[in-house]
Amino acid sequence: MANERLRGAIVERGLTFEEVAGRLGVASKTVERWVSNPDRKPYRRFQYALASLLQYEVSYLWPDERTMAEVTASGDAELVKLYPHRSAVPQSLWPQLYAKSQTHFDVLVYSGFWLTEDAVFRRLVKEKSAAGVPVRFMLGDPDSPEVATRGADEGIGGAMASKIRNALMNYSSLFGLPGVEFRLHSTTLYNSIYRSDNELLANGHVYGVGAYLAPVLHLQRVPGGELFDTYAESVERVWESARPISSPTDCAEAHA
């Protein structure tokens, strides 16, 4: 049984699967599966993009989807707390969050230098390593254009790249620990994300100010929620594209 409403909407707009795929940035085979197999529904972001493109309501194209009120209620449940800026987050929250990790211990930042100076946090990484918890650090590639742009945006120029190199040196004792991996990314990072299992802190990046002055969302995963998974998926995409390093000096050696 196919999704005839979706097929009909595409035909009505005079579009092909290839054209729809091109507009959404996915493979044409993916669009074909959405039509031919109603159990293969798009992620929520693609549902809204498709609905906008085809000028139909999401609830028409996928009748069993939740109402906006239900989606909003789930989002409210996912938000533990909103902090106006990172410096308003209790310092004790970061180690408390990661102390509970059993399956996910992720740090996605440009430098996150302030965290590297926290002895409690570094000790916690070692404890989680010994307990078999996978720990993943994703820092910006100090030689990438994206890091240079972020430094300019914050008004600190080349100091951003220096902060990353210094952060890596502060993490020297963590390299080589079982289950602890470091990667350098070259992405335009809109949030620094700190994930521990089904909780995370998302520190927004705002043009013209340092991350410590930007808002922080404390989110938890709840059944039917989407906010947490949106940020968690972002972490996975950066991880997949980032370059592994085995020592704090690998970034310099790669560009020597």
Q: Reply yes or no on whether the pLDDT at 236 is more than 50.
A: yes
Q: Say how far apart CA 122 and CA 220 lie, in whole Å.
A: 24
Question: Whole-prediction pTM value?
Answer: 0.73
| pLDDT given for residue 237 in this prediction | 92
Q: Say how far apart CA 87 and CA 23 lie, in whole Å.
A: 40
**Residue that is written with structure tokens 């609905």 in the block:** 51
| pLDDT given for residue 72 in this prediction | 53
Q: Give the model confidence (pLDDT) of 67-87 as tens digits.
A: 545 555 555 789 999 999 998
> How many Å from the N-terminal Cα to the C-terminal Cα in the chain?
57
Q: Say how far apart CA 154 and CA 105 lie, in whole Å.
A: 27
The answer as to CATH 1.10.10.60 being correct for domain 75-254 is no
Partnered with residue 181 across adjacent β-strands are 136
Q: For the CA atoms of the chain, what is the radius of gyration?
A: 21
Read off the pLDDT band of 63 (50, 70, 90).
Answer: confident
Q: Say how far apart CA 148 and CA 186 lie, in whole Å.
A: 10
Q: Say how far apart CA 64 and CA 76 lie, in whole Å.
A: 21
Q: Give the model confidence (pLDDT) of 5-22 as tens digits.
A: 888 989 999 999 999 999
| Domain locations in the chain as residue ranges | 4-65, 75-254
Q: Say how far apart CA 99 and CA 105 lie, in whole Å.
A: 9
Residue type, 164: I
Q: Reply yes or no on whether the pLDDT at 253 is more than 50.
A: no
Q: Please determine whether the domains at 4-65 and 75-254 fall in the same fold group of CATH.
A: no
Q: Reply yes or no on whether the pLDDT at 198 is more than 80.
A: yes
Give the CATH fold of the 4-65 domain.
434 Repressor (Amino-terminal Domain) (1.10.260)
Q: Say how far apart CA 45 and CA 56 lie, in whole Å.
A: 15
Q: Give the model confidence (pLDDT) of 153-192 as tens digits.
A: 988 999 999 999 999 999 999 999 999 999 999 999 999 9
SS3 251: helix
Q: pLDDT exceeding 70 applies to what percent of the chain?
A: 93
Mean pLDDT, to the nearest integer, of 132-150? Answer: 96
Q: pLDDT exceeding 90 applies to what percent of the chain?
A: 61
Q: Give the model confidence (pLDDT) of 116-139 as tens digits.
A: 999 999 999 999 999 999 999 999
Q: Say how far apart CA 112 and CA 244 lie, in whole Å.
A: 18
- Do the bridges between strand 105-108 and strand 135-140 make them parallel or antiparallel, or are there none, so unpaired? parallel
| pLDDT given for residue 118 in this prediction | 92
Q: Say how far apart CA 134 and CA 181 lie, in whole Å.
A: 8
